[in-house]
Amino acid sequence: MNKKLLFVTILFSFGSLIQAEEFEILSPTQKSIFNTKKKIIEEDKKINEKSWLSNINLNSSIVRDKDEKDTKEFSLSYEQPIFKFGGILNTIDVAKIQEQYDLMDLNITFIEYINTIYTTVVNLKLTDLNIKKQKLSIENKTISLDIIKAEYKAGQTDVTNLNDTIMEKNALEEELAEQLRTKQEYLATLSLYTKLDYKKIDIPNLKLKELDSYLKDSRDIKLAKYNEDISKLNYKIKKSDYLPELSLTSNYGYDFTKSDGENSYNYGVKLSIPISFSSINEIEKYQLDYLLSQREKEQKEIDETVAYNKIIENIRKYNNSTNIASKDIKLYEELLDSVSQEYNAGYKAIEDVEILSNTKKMRELDVEINKLNILTQLIAMYY
């Protein structure tokens, strides 16, 4: 492993779901955005962990009275809650879970970028196969057109049949042009996320997941769980806001106007009991937020189950299509062998051999297309 890859691996050893190799696929700008957002999350965590600490208040004043006598004073005061019925510890725990939530949210954004990259790479490969298939269709239609032209000149068919074949060939060529344009669109999309050539991007070997594994790995469900945990702690914190609070207090002052200066200080313990007319409503609101987060997590599990079943059904459809194409390929192999023998014996035209050969190649391309379509579903399952 080179030093650059080792650094990236260490960078993502905590709180990241993006693999080092996948991170390297991203463009330099995307990498910079990710790293900057990750640093912001780390600073937010430090800020949130210290949010329970009170500020030290420093005051300095110079006052002149009506007799033009100056008073210069300096004071320092500090009041720190030390017991709040779990509110302080819960605040620290929220900071930790919030960091995990933010990191997961950040990772989801960039994993979606990886999803887009891999899906676009597959779409480009699909487009390449469809272009090859379209060219074979055009080749077959060109052979058919040449035959119909000869038949028309010999008076064996009418102009309508000839015109229809010409129009069909033109339509196929227009579809080819559309596929080439679509390929350029995919290339433009890919350039937004990576500078690599799509042919040089390797997609991991992805295996079909069971439902339990899919739900366990679901980033959206994990995000919903973090949100539930945060809502639960915020509910506890809000309840502690209306319970008695014990604080340490201290004050220090110095008067510069005295001949030898004069200082004063005091320290002690303060017990506060808040009384609020809206406390019941505010606590109820936070409790409802917590209950809502539970229901949203449950709904996310339902959504992910539906998404999984849809992926499985799509894969089943593509596998069925592959089985049909495989049977067609076997049939075309038999026909091609028979027609080739008849052609060698002088009973069939070379055009018959070419059309069957091209059609067989098209069905072989359909098998490769189905494999890529299945890969697209697996990408959706993992990313």
Average pLDDT over residues 301-315: 97
Domains of the chain: which residue ranges?
29-381
d(CA 222, CA 225) in angstroms, rounded, equals 5
d(CA 159, CA 148) in angstroms, rounded, equals 9
d(CA 99, CA 90) in angstroms, rounded, equals 14
Identify the pLDDT of residue 17. Answer: 52
d(CA 369, CA 317) in angstroms, rounded, equals 13
Q: At 162, phi and psi to the nearest 5?
A: -65, -45
Whose CA is closest to 225, among 107, 42, 100, 368? Answer: 100
User: Domain 29-381 falls in which CATH fold?
Assistant: Outer membrane efflux proteins (OEP) (1.20.1600)
**More confident call, 320 vs 45:** 320
Query: What's the chain's average pLDDT?
Result: 88
Over pLDDT 70: what percentage of the chain? 92
Checking if the pLDDT of 2 tops 70, the result is: no
Identify the pLDDT of residue 185. Answer: 97
Distance, CA of 26 to chain centre: 13
Identify the pLDDT of residue 220. Answer: 92
Checking if the pLDDT of 6 tops 70, the result is: no
- Residue 14's pLDDT band, with cuts at 50, 70 and 90, is very low
| Amino acid in the structure at residue 210 | E
**More confident call, 126 vs 73:** 126
- Residue 245's pLDDT band, with cuts at 50, 70 and 90, is confident
Checking if the pLDDT of 7 tops 50, the result is: no
The answer to whether 233 touches 94, Cβ cutoff 8 Å, is yes
Whose CA is closest to 238, among 282, 278, 277? Answer: 282
Q: What is the CA radius of gyration of the chain?
A: 36
C-alpha pair distances (Å), 372 with each of 104, 290, 352: 29, 43, 31
Q: Which residues pair with 255 in a beta bridge?
A: 73, 262
- Read off the pLDDT of residues 331-360 as tens digits, 9 standing for 90 and up: 999 999 999 999 999 989 999 999 999 999
| Amino acid in the structure at residue 143 | I
Q: By mean pLDDT, which of 4-18, 83-97, 106-120, 319-333 is the weakest?
A: 4-18
pTM beyond cutoff 0.75: yes
Checking if the pLDDT of 264 tops 60, the result is: yes
Q: By mean pLDDT, which of 74-88, 148-162, 194-208 is the weakest?
A: 74-88
d(CA 274, CA 278) in angstroms, rounded, equals 11
Over pLDDT 90: what percentage of the chain? 56
What torsion do the CA atoms of 276, 279, 281, 284 make, to the nearest 10 degrees?
180
Q: Taking the CA of residue 213 as centre, how many other CA atoms within 13 Å lie in the half-sphere pointing to its CB? A: 6
Q: Is 56 helix (H, G, I), strand (E, B) or coil?
A: coil
- Read off the pLDDT of residues 158-171 as tens digits, 9 standing for 90 and up: 999 999 999 999 99
Identify the pLDDT of residue 367. Answer: 98
Q: DSSP letters along 193-233, please?
A: T--S-GGG-PPP---PPPHHHHHHH-HHHHHHHHHHHHHHH
Average pLDDT over residues 135-164: 95
d(CA 276, CA 284) in angstroms, rounded, equals 14
The answer to whether 339 touches 356, Cβ cutoff 8 Å, is yes
Identify the pLDDT of residue 246. Answer: 84
d(CA 256, CA 8) in angstroms, rounded, equals 58
**More confident call, 43 vs 142:** 142
- Residue 84's pLDDT band, with cuts at 50, 70 and 90, is confident
C-alpha pair distances (Å), 238 with each of 27, 33, 90, 100: 44, 35, 10, 22
- Read off the pLDDT of residues 218-240 as tens digits, 9 standing for 90 and up: 999 999 999 999 999 999 888 88
Average pLDDT over residues 175-183: 97
Identify the pLDDT of residue 206. Answer: 94
- Read off the pLDDT of residues 42-71 as tens digits, 9 standing for 90 and up: 888 888 778 777 888 888 877 776 666 777
- Residue 136's pLDDT band, with cuts at 50, 70 and 90, is very high
What is residue 256's DSSP assignment?
A: T
Average pLDDT over residues 196-209: 94
Strand order in the sheet with 245-255: 57-64, 70-83, 245-255, 262-272
- For the chain, count helices (H), then strands (E): 9, 4
Whose CA is closest to 50, among 88, 98, 101? Answer: 88
